[in-house]
Structure 1
């Protein structure tokens, strides 16, 4: 009589043979697919950046798109938006919701650095460009701190606070973009000038968007400036304060021009096509700031925009500027420097936030 075989139940996937997800740049997505999604993101999110990026050689252009996609997605997640516009669905849940969104940004960014899939093409794109270009976690955290400032309702009290904000939301992006374009991480002088360009962009944005920011209950004019102009809290957009508002916008644009001029010194060190693209972007954003100043008290009656023909003129002018490649050194150089801002950041410590109720257990 044959012996009956004893059937022993087996685990379908015993723990000793479970395999971890293999780490690979881009989280396993194809580079072509990530680049295409990134191109769509920049085309929809920023026409000015998209126009300038087309001047890059293909390798730099694609890396710039990949980095932009991450920046755009982080900004949208932090603010509960979609390409800078209110997202469909329920409104963000106050401070607790902001904390969750920032936590998600940091976790997804860390997974991207590790080469693990994130289920989000923008973060996978960042993992790819970080691996290709040598971007660091410290660089990414400097940018994420800018999203944190916005998401937690922070506002500047002093010019030093404004400098810190402009560094995190734009200057630090300029540093990353320079590294993406091939600038060595130890080339401090060129990275400083890239930071200047980002700060110039942000100062132009702040001057242009004072009205829109007020409608969203935000204000990036330092409290000290408003006090000097004898403007009551939350009243800077009132018609009887337009003259004072125009004066403060002119202050922003004056600083913008100094940083813009300093940035040209760094652009001079780049290969021709990359230099051309940077100079074109500088001219386009500089034109935004100068138009705000030129309109004076009417600057916020309608949004300042640079049309296609004017962009084309700036791109053509940037071409000849790139050919000549002899930018004058501004005198004086910008008061805000990357080094001094970073010292202030370290002294200031973590972002100051109002007390929060503890997050509920998510387990």
Structure 2
């Protein structure tokens, strides 16, 4: 499959093909929902998405490496090394680091703004020292770099039939909605890392503090006050999903099944959290396979129909021919 994708994308250099394959492995291993949705993209667009996800995963793994022997300072050194190598790659157009090599190629192919990676790395460094956020506004500033920029990075790869300034806020919202869903799902696991991403003012409004969260984690129970706080954050996340969904019709038609399916699958995690009464302190919400299948089948049908319409004005174009990447000529 990776050979077909790289051939379609016009990636011929053996080292670069290996770099993209490494990123695809990271995506398939750690981003199962994203990877599933990515399979709905035209083959030539997939390697770039794998590269963007692979870089984000690589940096996140440095921050969250489970090795207890690693200090925050050692993690910071590794992040700085990754960041410095990426800066050099973007400056000189090459890198010996496999993930950065694929990312650099993707950035140049699709004209992605390098400043988005600066913002991303800033948020990754915050995770080494910041363990809680006083208000949602404080959390939002963190999520700009850790989530919103991911949507903005992917947008040029997906392509848009709307002006970038119109589509970008919705792409950013999708990244934020995904991350808030992760925060809700992983409250217990994040607490084990001494992190609380639910804003402190929201917790305090319901009489929740770290001591109560730890009690819930240890006793495998979810206090009614914790449920109320998480319910409020869930409602906020629903609103962000609604804003993000309005951007799906703005995407290139060939990319809509992928993004629409990712949105449905990730929002289904939120559904499962709600159905469980926000009992997330001791369990991880999982979307049943049958529900995933119900979301995937119509998306596959839409994807097949688009490929049949190969001669239509909205037919997807291979990289290197037709419209510039990230654009469409109606």
TM class by smaller structure: 0.7 to 0.9
Q: CA deviation at 1:247?
A: 1.6
Q: Which residue of 1 aligns with 2:276?
A: 295
Tell me the TM-score normalized by structure 1.
Answer: 0.73
Q: Which residue of 1 aligns with 2:134?
A: 157
CA-atom RMSD, angstroms? 2.5
The CA distance in 1 between the partners of 2:43 and 2:239, in whole Å, is 30
Q: Which residue of 1 aligns with 2:230?
A: 249
The CA distance in 2 between the partners of 1:247 and 1:191, in whole Å, is 32
The CA distance in 2 between the partners of 1:309 and 1:130, in whole Å, is 37
**Gap runs ≥5 in structure 2:** 1-10, 305-330
The CA distance in 2 between the partners of 1:43 and 1:269, in whole Å, is 27
Tell me the TM-score normalized by structure 2.
Answer: 0.80
Q: CA deviation at 1:169?
A: 1.1
Give 2:262's match in structure 1, choosing from 281, 305, 317. Answer: 281
Go from structure 1 to structure 2 and tell me whether the alpha carbon gap of 1:269 and 1:320 turns closer, same or farther (over 3 Å shift).
farther
* Per-residue deviation, residues 174-230 of structure 1 (Å, max 9, x unmatched): 110112223499711201100010011011100000011111111101111222222
Confirm whether residue 308 of structure 1 aligns to residue 258 of structure 2. Answer: no
The CA distance in 2 between the partners of 1:288 and 1:210, in whole Å, is 14
The CA distance in 1 between the partners of 2:19 and 2:175, in whole Å, is 25
Q: Which residue of 1 aligns with 2:87?
A: 110
* Per-residue deviation, residues 236-281 of structure 1 (Å, max 9, x unmatched): 2424762122122222221222121211221102222310100100
* Structure with more contact order per residue of length (Cα contacts < 8 Å, sep ≥ 6): 2
Q: Which residue of 2 aligns with 1:97?
A: 74
The CA distance in 1 between the partners of 2:252 and 2:241, in whole Å, is 19
**Gap runs ≥5 in structure 1:** 1-25, 324-363
**Rg bigger for which structure?**
1
Partners of 2:171 and 2:247 within 8 A in 1:
yes
Q: Which residue of 2 aligns with 1:60?
A: 45
Partners of 2:16 and 2:101 within 8 A in 1:
no
Partners of 1:204 and 1:252 within 8 A in 2:
no
Give 2:25's match in structure 1, choosing from 19, 22, 40. Answer: 40
Matched length: 289
Q: Which moved more, 1:221-230 or 1:116-125?
A: 116-125
**Any idea what SS the aligned residue of 1:268 has?**
helix
Q: Which residue of 1 aligns with 2:125?
A: 148
Confirm whether residue 75 of structure 1 aligns to residue 60 of structure 2. Answer: yes
